[in-house]
Every structure is written in structure tokens, then in C-alpha cells.
Structure 1
């Protein structure tokens, strides 16, 4: 819950936000409202529809950050984004921290090293909002590597205002299913990459988890297999792919995801 000292500020901020629905100042008012609850360095709002290229609705990044976090992200890496995957896999809409959606080994994954660290993100807090049958709006608040992770207090504060926040965001940015504006992009489903090579179903399942940041122990626990069995499947899959490391796997998947399919 919001502390007594900030409850009036939080309610006032939400009132201001509702008054800005449909206006040019909505995004900045939303940013100011969320800053009452918690500190963050950047805010990005993105609309997704299925596996089509996502549409950035708002960001406050500089040109260098935007080139990676918006432009490059939309060409394929979004398919491995834990928040996007949470929506695709039916996670309950609401407010989630990155640490609540990823395995313990995520910070050691190639996806984290090659994408998150490139924009110097330490932690994210995401609002996951349905937007039609195959659509979602995700609002991401990010903290830099020099900042602490989002704590339970920040999570509880944003959750306390979720109903009016969600209603305002959907009213301002939401689109009916008939007005699908997601651009067909060059990005392809990650499963397309796994289906393009001669992996067995079990090998493909394990490689999919590796790409999402899982280690052999967490894969074993998730699939109910012995860790040694996972390592054998992983080694065989790497051999079929002609690679020898997780870094090479990530590079191969990224090249596939951003390749032009026209």
C-alpha cells in the first residue's frame, strides 16, 4: 500500500492522469504519477499483437538507448522478452517485477548479457495489460545498473493504483481488435528457428529454455529430467546446430529472428 504521507499525492496524480486521457500530455502525466510510487530512470510503453513487430507508443530514452531498446528490439529480440513471454503464456495481467518472471540463471544468460546490459538495465517493473484477443500493452519502468532493484514496496504501491491506471492506459492507447495496427515485421516466432533445424522435440524444448535464460539445473527441475540427461540433449542439439556455446546459440537465434523473410 501507499504510505499515508504519499496517499494524497498518489490519488491526486491518478486524478490528473484521468483528466489527460486523449490528450498529448497523457504519457508524461502517467510518468509523473508512477514516480510518486517509485523511482525509475526510463519508461517505455509498447503495444504487441501476436508475433507481429511491436509498436512503441511512448519512450523517454535518448537516441542511443532508443536505437537498441526500441528499433533493434522490435526486429526480433522482443520474442525472448520475459514480459512479452509472460503475456503469450497467459500470465495474470497486472504488475510484475523482472525477477518474478525469470529463472535464477537469467542474469547469466546471453540474452541478458547481449541485450539488457547493452542498455545498462538492472531491473524492470512491468504493467501487463490485455488489448484484444491477441494484443497486449506493456508499460516498462527500468532502473539502471547503478540503481537498486525494485522492492516489494514499489510493487505494492503500483499495484494499489492498478485499476485506474489500467483503465486510463487502455482508454488512451487501447485499440479494438478490428483496428489492429501492429505492423507485419521481419520477426518470426522463435519456434520457427527451432523448426528450421533437425532437432528432436525434446532437444527443441531444451534449447527454447536455454534461450530464455535457463541453466541445465533449472531445465532439469522444470522438465523432471536428470541434469545429466539435459546436458546430453543440449550437447546433441549444439552438435546439430554446429555450435559449441550459449553465446553462439544466441547469435544464431538473433540472426534468424532479424533476417528478412520477404
Structure 2
């Protein structure tokens, strides 16, 4: 069990390290000293810009390509991202506290969390300034490993300290404003995905499926029967020429990452054009 003396020692080194390149790794070291974890990452969302990876542990069974896909568009479906942006929830949360029923069956979960090997995750969601925030992900990968109640309580207890340190370290990232709200553009693209080919209800169903909702929770959210959800999904898949949630997920990612000079609407409109006719890259 970590002692107050050890924690104070880490903190004494961290405070003067804010603003330095060593800060993210030192922060992870302090948290790892408090609670044993097998994996950690820090992703910073600077105001309205795309996320930046500040700390990431590379393992043999996980590739950089997955992380590239995450920061270019897959993050839109991440429960921690949605907690900060859609729900304005900040603090320490387990993944299961934020994700919808059926999330572990979603293609997003398979492509990201399963690839990381996580059995359980606790994540810090910390506001910085404006629309900026920081997500610190701590994962356990051992079979049947999970965060104990004591460990979760300990992480929650140090949240105010971690929050203050992160806000001090990453305050500069929110002062740079490109004038273009890239995250808002991508959120708009997600909401409009498929709308050029689907009915309004089919678009709603597909959006919830992408977010990892089960047939039951989609039905509850839209106040329709499960059979109606299945029918809408079947029709949407046929119109989009996909046959599974995996194909739907990658169609969405491909269309979003291929979007050029996006000004709104369904990204499939440009995506389905021949490459030579697509607009110039952003």
C-alpha cells in the first residue's frame, strides 16, 4: 500500500515539472504508485481542436495504427469523450459507468479497448479551459483483473490534486485557437452520417448503433419496439451496402477521415464520388 510519504515525494517532483516534457510520464508514475495498473495513456483535447496523444505505452500486440484511427475520428464514439462533451461530467469513472448497455459488443470496443487488452479501466476526465479537457486512462489487462473499491476511492481522493496539476501543465494548449472548431465539424459529420441515403429514423438508429447501444437500449431511447429497431437497421444496412456492425463502423471512419473541406452534411456524399472528383484536403 502506498504511503503518504511516497505520494508526497512524487508530488514534490511533479509540481516543478509542470510545463515540461517529462510531466506526463511522471504523472503516470505517481498514479501507478498509488494503484497498480498494466497500461496507461494520456490524451489531451485542446479547446476545439483534434485530440493529441501526450502519453502512450506501446505493446507488441497493439499498433500505432489503432491510435491514429482514434485521434482522426474514432474518439467521437468514446464514452470518456462523450462524458466530457455531451454530459459535462468530470471526475474519475470506470468505463462501465459511462458506456451504454451492449457497448462491449460494439465494433468500437473491439477495435479500441479489446485491442488494448483492457479487462477494466478507470479514467480521469479533467476540464482545462474553454472546451478543452484531458483524459487519463488507466487499464488493467490481467485476466479477470478489475479496480477494487479501495483503488477507485483512492483515485477519486487524489482527483483534485491531479486536476490542478493537469490544468497548470496543459493551460497553454487551450490558448492556441485556429479559428476552426474541428471537433464540432466531426461531431456534425457523425450526426449526419448516412442521412443522404437513409430516413431520419434509420439515421437515428445507425447513430446509436455506432455508439454501442444494444437493440434494447436503441428501442428505449427512440420509444419504438425492438422489432422496429431491427427492421430500421436491416433497411439501413442494405442502403449503405454493409452487412455487419463492423462494416458500418469502418464505413463511418473511412468517410470521416476522407472528408475534405467539410462544411456540413453527410460525409458519404463526397466519399462515394470517384477520388479525382473529391474536394481538396483540409
Range into which the TM-score falls when normalised by the shorter chain: 0.7 to 0.9
Offset, 1:96: 1.0
CA contact (8 A) 1:54 1:183 kept: no
CA contact (8 A) 2:119 2:141 kept: yes
CA contact (8 A) 1:46 1:57 kept: yes
Q: Which moved more, 1:156-165 or 1:58-67?
A: 58-67
Offset, 1:34: 0.6
Distance 2:181 2:86 in 1: 22
What is the aligned partner in structure 2 of residue 108 from structure 1? Answer: 105
Q: Which runs of 5+ in 2 are unaligned?
A: 261-280
Distance 1:183 1:43 in 2: 28
Offset, 1:69: 4.7
Mapping of residues 12-161 of structure 1, within 5 Å: 12-49=9-46, 52-62=49-59, 65=62, 67-144=64-141, 146=143, 148-161=145-158
Cα separation, partners in 2 of 1:131 and 1:110, compared to 1, 3 Å? same
What is the aligned partner in structure 1 of residue 239 from structure 2? Answer: 240
CA contact (8 A) 1:124 1:143 kept: yes
Distance 1:203 1:107 in 2: 22
Distance 1:7 1:171 in 2: 23
What is the RMSD computed on CA atoms of the aligned residues?
2.7
Offset, 1:127: 1.0
Q: Which runs of 5+ in 1 are unaligned?
A: none
Distance 2:216 2:52 in 1: 36
What is the aligned partner in structure 1 of residue 167 from structure 2? Answer: 170
Distance 1:173 1:134 in 2: 13
Runs of 4+ in structure 1 off by over 6 angstroms are none
**Normalized against structure 2, the TM-score is what?**
0.80
What is the aligned partner in structure 2 of residue 222 from structure 1? Answer: 221
Considering Cα pairs closer than 8 Å and 6+ residues apart, tell me whether 1 or 2 has the greater RCO.
1
Distance 1:170 1:20 in 2: 13
Q: Count residues with an aligned counterpart.
A: 257
Offset, 1:49: 4.2
**Normalized against structure 1, the TM-score is what?**
0.85
